[in-house]
């Protein structure tokens, strides 16, 4: 069956463009919007204890043009136009380009890119909240002892409330961040007024001159500059939630606010201010406003962290649907939005990792050493996939696609090389995190493929089953049986096992196979393919996109309305539950792979929950596979 798709992105018809653009400010731009809290301080610290005016202007110029080249040109102008039926992000791009079986390398690139994004997910909350609370030291140095305990308390509370859902909180994310960007702009204007000549930094030649004459610290400076675009990947990943127009309109607000604030910070340094402590909070024009600014910055970083956590939930669901991760428990926290989900396992793992990082590194400056490697590496991988898409999806000439890809890869590769210098100082943390997660993805795929091969061993031919039914050898009993099958062959092992032990079939038998397509959403008219293969025996294929959650009872109810004989008052679902053991002949998977896969399989969410089946209507059939 040729599967066609409906509109892939969520239906925004009930929302005005202005409302969506406001919401995008809170969800899409939270991470990049809180970068001014620490970026310029890190950059100037790398440039020297007393940076010359040329170094300050050059650093600011590099920040501004990095925002232009990577965020504006690559993501806002280019990447948002390369979508998978309206969805964006590295996994959606991977799915778009890996529809051909030989695209094994594309799958590996996409999976490792996704693993790197998780590294950003654990670093962003820690560095953002720490940098906000470090404003207390500007109010009074003796308050520095409250920074770390306060950070831990805020982060723990943030993760604890995730199970309540973000439906209510989401209404306030946009207005809070809109106010935040207004504050950024106003503070920046106040700083610029102290030294208006700072605006010469808009000239890219100042940044290039500083870059090529910066001496031994230039790579450290580049590593700090890159912090201004951490969070740019969210622009692409959130494409399906908002659409490209609201995201682009939001950037029209965010970009000027960021440039003004960075310029204001540089201006007060050029005017003679110290670079020690937080440059952002030194922009505060009056001491009486400092405490409210610290509180507001803390709220803004909590919003930024919320957006990152929600993004981790959404990306995990995509990875599960694409077969990269085992099934995990997914809780729909709101009936009003498909994206309102909560994954307990992901939430608590992120919380532990984030708290360990905050406690281990203690300050935002220390944590900045770990920040940047994962994001810059992910951007390089995204550029690789985008280059392929420009050639194959857009049809650009090969030289043009290569030139565009090399252009972005050169800039991002320089940032990656600069960030790699921080590897020993903490940069190894997100890299190790990504390698472990990527390894788990590959083990899951390898083990699942081994189980699938064993499950697909030929069983009784369909002709024999039909002959037995027609001759009356197989007794029929009242009700409907639905066999949820792993494989697409006509007679799955589940049904054979059932016949062997019960010597009977229900009056109506449905063999249901759920297929995840390499597209985000499947049109309702193409959802179910029903074909009769025997007397009152039907073969069904249900098609779902990688952004959709299967709901088999609802699917069968829809099928019944279209004439498929399903007795919903007397339906029994038969599903398999696999366990794996090691092969005794030594020809199976490596022992460590088998052990890890077995652990992941045992701890994966039940198929009952994944397919949203009523527990009192399900019969689980266990089967052991030697891999």
HEC profile of 291-356: HHHHHHHHHHHHHHHHHHHHHHHHHHHHHHHCCCCCCCCCEECCCCCCCCEECHHHHHHHHHHHHH
β-bridge pairing 475-485 and 528-534: unpaired
Cα 465 to chain center, whole Å?
Answer: 46
Mean pLDDT across the chain, nearest whole number? 84
What is residue 352's predicted lDDT score, i.e. its pLDDT? 93
What is residue 338's predicted lDDT score, i.e. its pLDDT? 55
pLDDT of 4 above 50: no
Q: Could you report the per-residue pLDDT of 204-224, keeping only the tens digit for each?
A: 999 999 888 865 588 888 988
pLDDT of 8 above 50: no
What is residue 560's predicted lDDT score, i.e. its pLDDT? 78
171 band by pLDDT with thresholds 50, 70 and 90: low
pLDDT of 188 above 90: yes
pLDDT of 3 above 50: no
What is residue 487's predicted lDDT score, i.e. its pLDDT? 65
What is residue 12's predicted lDDT score, i.e. its pLDDT? 44
What is residue 351's predicted lDDT score, i.e. its pLDDT? 93
Query: Treating both helix axes as pointing N-terminal to C-terminal, what angle do 290-321 and 104-133 enclose, rounded to 10 degrees?
Result: 160
Helices (H), 322-397: 344-361, 364-368, 373-392
Q: Can you tell me the mean pLDDT for 264-284?
A: 88
Residues 528, 518: Cα–Cα separation, whole Å: 16
557 band by pLDDT with thresholds 50, 70 and 90: confident
Q: Can you tell me the mean pLDDT for 61-79?
A: 95
> Closest Cα to residue 375, out of 26, 60, 65, 39?
39
What is residue 215's predicted lDDT score, i.e. its pLDDT? 59
Q: Could you report the per-residue pLDDT of 507-537, keeping only the tens digit for each?
A: 888 888 888 888 888 888 888 888 888 788 8
Would the pTM count as exceeding 0.85? no
pLDDT of 470 above 90: no
Please list the residues that pair with 543 across neighbouring strands. Answer: 515
What is the domain class of 22-421 according to CATH?
A: mainly alpha
Q: Could you report the per-residue pLDDT of 32-54, keeping only the tens digit for each?
A: 998 999 899 889 888 777 788 88
Q: Could you report the per-residue pLDDT of 91-128, keeping only the tens digit for each?
A: 888 888 876 655 788 888 889 988 988 887 888 889 88
10 band by pLDDT with thresholds 50, 70 and 90: very low
137 band by pLDDT with thresholds 50, 70 and 90: confident
What percent of the chain has pLDDT above 90?
27
5 band by pLDDT with thresholds 50, 70 and 90: very low
> Closest Cα to residue 262, out of 67, 71, 412?
67
Instruction: Map residue 4 onto helix, strand or coil.
Output: coil
Are the beta carbons of 338 and 87 closer than 8 angstroms?
A: no
What is residue 6's predicted lDDT score, i.e. its pLDDT? 36
Query: How far, in Å, are 121, 128, 133, 432, 566 from residue 354 at the CA level?
Result: 9, 11, 16, 14, 49
What is residue 1's predicted lDDT score, i.e. its pLDDT? 29
Name the least confident of 53-62, 214-223, 257-266, 359-368. 214-223
> Closest Cα to residue 385, out of 177, 600, 151, 84?
84
Residues 94, 387: Cα–Cα separation, whole Å: 12
Residue 205, token pair as written in the block: 């030649």
CA geometry: angle 78, 81, 83, nearest 5 deg: 125
Q: Is 624 exposed, middle or buried (0-12, 13-18, 19+ CB in 10 A)?
A: exposed
Q: Could you report the per-residue pLDDT of 530-549, keeping only the tens digit for each?
A: 888 878 888 888 888 888 88
Cα 462 to chain center, whole Å?
Answer: 43
Check residue 515 and report its DSSP letter.
E
400 band by pLDDT with thresholds 50, 70 and 90: very high
Q: Could you report the per-residue pLDDT of 574-624, keeping only the tens digit for each?
A: 888 888 888 887 778 888 988 999 999 988 888 888 888 888 889 888 778
> Closest Cα to residue 411, out of 70, 42, 71?
70
Q: Could you report the per-residue pLDDT of 375-396, keeping only the tens digit for each?
A: 899 899 999 999 999 988 888 8
What is residue 347's predicted lDDT score, i.e. its pLDDT? 92
What is residue 14's predicted lDDT score, i.e. its pLDDT? 42
Among positive and negative, which fits the CA dihedral 134, 139, 145, 151? negative
Per domain, the residue ranges of the chain are 22-421, 455-626
Q: Can you tell me the mean pLDDT for 148-166?
A: 85
pLDDT of 15 above 60: no
Residues 491, 499: Cα–Cα separation, whole Å: 11
Residue 595, token pair as written in the block: 């052990």
Which residues have CB under 8 Å from 197's CB, separation 6+?
Answer: 270
Check residue 102 and report its DSSP letter.
T
Residues 614, 608: Cα–Cα separation, whole Å: 7
Instruction: Kindly state the greatest CA–CA separation across the chain.
Output: 97
Among positive and negative, which fits the CA dihedral 583, 586, 587, 593? positive
Query: How far, in Å, are 99, 113, 323, 450, 484 from residue 319 at the CA level?
Result: 16, 12, 6, 19, 21
> Closest Cα to residue 588, out of 563, 625, 616, 557?
625
Name the least confident of 174-188, 325-339, 405-419, 475-489. 325-339
Helix (H) or strand (E) holding 479: strand 475-485
Q: Could you report the per-residue pLDDT of 286-298, keeping only the tens digit for each?
A: 888 889 999 999 9
Are the beta carbons of 348 and 159 closer than 8 angstroms?
A: yes
Instruction: Map residue 229 onto helix, strand or coil.
Output: helix
Residue 581, token pair as written in the block: 């053991």
What is residue 214's predicted lDDT score, i.e. its pLDDT? 65
Residues 10, 73: Cα–Cα separation, whole Å: 25
Residue whose structure tokens are 């053991």: 581
Residues 163, 343: Cα–Cα separation, whole Å: 8
Q: Can you tell me the mean pLDDT for 217-236?
A: 86
pLDDT of 265 above 70: yes
HEC profile of 566-627: CCHHHEEEEEEEEEEECCCCCCCCCHHHHHHHHHHHHCCCCHHHHCCCCHHHEEEEEEEEEC
423 band by pLDDT with thresholds 50, 70 and 90: confident
Instruction: Map residue 475 onto helix, strand or coil.
Output: strand
Query: How far, in Å, are 149, 170, 196, 373, 626 from residue 441 at the CA level?
Result: 35, 31, 52, 21, 20
CA geometry: angle 428, 433, 439, nearest 5 deg: 120
Residues 35, 112: Cα–Cα separation, whole Å: 25
Cα 401 to chain center, whole Å?
Answer: 26
> Closest Cα to residue 282, out of 299, 300, 295, 294?
294
> Closest Cα to residue 348, out of 169, 165, 170, 156?
156
Q: Can you tell me the mean pLDDT for 557-573?
A: 79
């Amino acid at each position: 069956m040729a599967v066609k798709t409906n509109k892939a992105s969520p239906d925004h018809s009930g929302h005005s463009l202005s409302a969506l653009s406001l919401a995008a400010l809170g969800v899409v731009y939270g991470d990049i919007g809180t970068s001014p809290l620490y970026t310029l301080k890190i950059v100037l610290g790398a440039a020297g204890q007393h940076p010359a005016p040329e170094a300050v202007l050059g650093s600011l110029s590099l920040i501004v043009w990095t925002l232009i080249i990577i965020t504006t040109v690559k993501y806002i102008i280019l990447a948002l136009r390369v979508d998978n039926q309206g969805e964006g992000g590295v996994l959606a791009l991977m799915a778009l380009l890996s529809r051909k079986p030989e695209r094994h390398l594309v799958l590996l690139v996409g999976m490792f890119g996704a693993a790197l994004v998780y590294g950003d997910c654990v670093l962003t909350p820690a560095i953002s909240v720490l940098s906000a609370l470090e404003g207390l030291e500007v109010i009074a140095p003796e308050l520095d002892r409250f920074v770390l305990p306060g950070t831990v308390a805020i982060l723990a509370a943030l993760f604890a409330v995730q199970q309540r859902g973000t439906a209510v909180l989401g209404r306030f994310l946009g207005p809070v961040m809109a106010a935040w960007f207004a504050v950024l702009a106003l503070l920046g204007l106040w700083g610029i007024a102290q030294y208006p000549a700072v605006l010469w930094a808009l000239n890219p030649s100042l940044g290039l001159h500083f870059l090529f004459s910066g001496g031994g610290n230039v790579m450290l400076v580049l590593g700090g500059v890159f912090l201004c675009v951490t969070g740019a990947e969210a622009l692409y990943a959130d494409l399906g939630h908002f659409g490209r127009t609201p995201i682009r309109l939001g950037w029209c607000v965010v970009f000027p606010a960021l440039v003004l604030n960075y310029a204001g910070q540089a201006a007060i340094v050029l005017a003679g201010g110290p670079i020690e402590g937080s440059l952002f909070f030194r922009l505060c024009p009056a001491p009486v406003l400092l405490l409210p600014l610290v509180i507001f910055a803390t709220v803004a970083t909590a919003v930024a962290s919320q957006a990152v956590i929600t993004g981790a939930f959404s990306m995990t669901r995509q990875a599960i649907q694409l077969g990269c991760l085992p099934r995990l428990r997914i809780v729909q926290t709101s009936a009003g939005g498909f994206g309102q989900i909560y994954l307990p396992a992901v939430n608590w793992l992120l919380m532990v990792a984030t708290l360990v990082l905050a406690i281990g590194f203690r300050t935002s400056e220390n944590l900045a050493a770990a920040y940047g490697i994962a994001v810059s590496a992910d951007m390089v991988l995204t550029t690789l996939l985008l280059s392929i898409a420009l050639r194959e999806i857009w049809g650009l000439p090969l030289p043009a696609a290569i030139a565009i890809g090399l252009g972005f890869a050169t800039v991002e590769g320089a940032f990656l090389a600069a960030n790699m210098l921080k590897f020993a100082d903490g940069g190894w943390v997100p890299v190790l995190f990504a390698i472990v997660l990527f390894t788990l993805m590959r083990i899951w795929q390898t083990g699942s493929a081994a189980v699938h091969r064993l499950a697909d061993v030929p069983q009784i031919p369909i002709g024999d089953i039909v002959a037995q039914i027609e001759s009356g050898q197989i007794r029929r009993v009242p009700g409907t049986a639905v066999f949820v099958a792993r494989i697409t062959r006509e007679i799955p092992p589940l049904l054979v096992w059932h016949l062997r032990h019960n010597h009977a079939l229900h009056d109506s038998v449905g063999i249901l196979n759920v297929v995840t397509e390499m597209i985000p959403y499947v049109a309702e008219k193409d959802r179910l393919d029903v074909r009769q293969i025997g007397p009152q025996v039907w073969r069904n294929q249900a098609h779902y996109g990688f952004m959709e959650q299967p709901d088999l009872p609802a699917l069968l109810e829809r099928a019944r309305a279209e004439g498929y004989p399903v007795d919903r008052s007397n339906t029994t679902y038969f599903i398999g539950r696999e366990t794996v053991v090691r092969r005794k002949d030594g020809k199976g998977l490596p022992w460590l792979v088998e052990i890890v896969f077995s652990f992941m399989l045992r701890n994966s969410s039940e198929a009952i929950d994944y397919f949203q089946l009523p527990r009192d209507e399900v019969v689980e059939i266990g089967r052991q596979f030697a891999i």
